[in-house]
């Protein structure tokens, strides 16, 4: 395969976002989650380079426009849109004041992607994550991830031997989850 430039300019971040009390809400509401991302992308465009959704957390890499790298406002839009219409969980006063509904943990893990190697490690971490968490034995078997898209984009060799490519990732915790 010809070497292709995959690593475009712009600020990139890896995120891990978890539901409050690890409630398994994300897969059962995955259409709602998609709608929340669509709304955010329409207001504040950015690129989702990789993503995986598990029942109670998600990992994603975003490439942000050079003139607007504010990811906090984007997560606010996504979290609020996702939560709207879902029943409130038991929440503290401070959360009620902020119009949060106890759906998401307030803090999230963020990591600035330093370079192409760092990016690649995090892309692989995302795609291997459903295996790491024990949901499937092969990354391509998890429907809620960008892995198959990444293959179509040429980010992996077709028919990639995942054991080779993902070697060691099972024991790594670079995404904090």
Query: Which parts of this chain interact with Ni ion (CB under 5 A)?
Result: 129, 177
User: Of the two residues 53 and 95, which places its CB atom closer to Ni ion in the complex?
Assistant: 53
Nearest residue to Ni ion by CB is 177
User: Of the two residues 52 and 78, which places its CB atom closer to Ni ion in the complex?
Assistant: 52
Can you read off the two tokens belonging to residue 9? 């300019």
Three-state helix/strand/coil letters over the chain: CCCCCCCCCCEEEEEEEEEHHHCCCCCCCHHHHHHHHHHHHHHCCCEEEEEEECCCEEEEEEEECCCCCCHHHHHHHHHHHHHCCCCCCCCCHHHHHCCCCCCECCCCEEEECCCHHHHHHHHHHHHHHHHHCCCCCCHHHCCCECHHHHHHCCCCCCCCCHHHHCCCHHHCCCCCC
In whole angstroms, the minimum distance from the beta carbon of 108 to Ni ion comes to 12
In whole angstroms, the minimum distance from the beta carbon of 175 to Ni ion comes to 6
In whole angstroms, the minimum distance from the beta carbon of 79 to Ni ion comes to 18
User: Of the two residues 129 and 145, which places its CB atom closer to Ni ion in the complex?
Assistant: 129
User: Of the two residues 51 and 95, which places its CB atom closer to Ni ion in the complex?
Assistant: 51
In whole angstroms, the minimum distance from the beta carbon of 40 to Ni ion comes to 21
In whole angstroms, the minimum distance from the beta carbon of 45 to Ni ion comes to 26
User: Of the two residues 101 and 145, which places its CB atom closer to Ni ion in the complex?
Assistant: 145
């Amino acid at each position: 395969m010809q070497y292709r430039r995959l690593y475009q300019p712009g600020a990139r971040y890896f995120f891990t976002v978890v539901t409050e009390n690890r409630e398994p809400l994300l897969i059962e509401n995955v259409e709602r989650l998609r709608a929340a991302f669509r709304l955010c992308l329409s207001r504040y465009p950015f690129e989702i380079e990789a993503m995986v959704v598990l029942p109670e957390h998600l990992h994603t890499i975003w490439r942000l426009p050079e003139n607007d790298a504010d990811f906090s406002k984007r997560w606010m839009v996504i979290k609020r849109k996702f939560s709207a219409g879902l029943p409130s969980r038991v929440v503290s006063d401070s959360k009620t004041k902020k119009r949060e509904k106890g759906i998401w943990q307030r803090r999230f893990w963020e990591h600035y992607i330093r370079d192409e190697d760092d990016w690649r490690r995090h892309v692989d971490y995302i795609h291997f994550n459903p295996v790491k968490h024990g949901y499937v034995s092969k990354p391509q078997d998890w429907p809620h991830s960008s892995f198959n898209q990444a293959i179509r984009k040429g980010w992996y060799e077709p028919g990639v031997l995942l054991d080779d490519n993902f070697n060691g990732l099972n024991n790594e915790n670079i995404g904090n989850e």
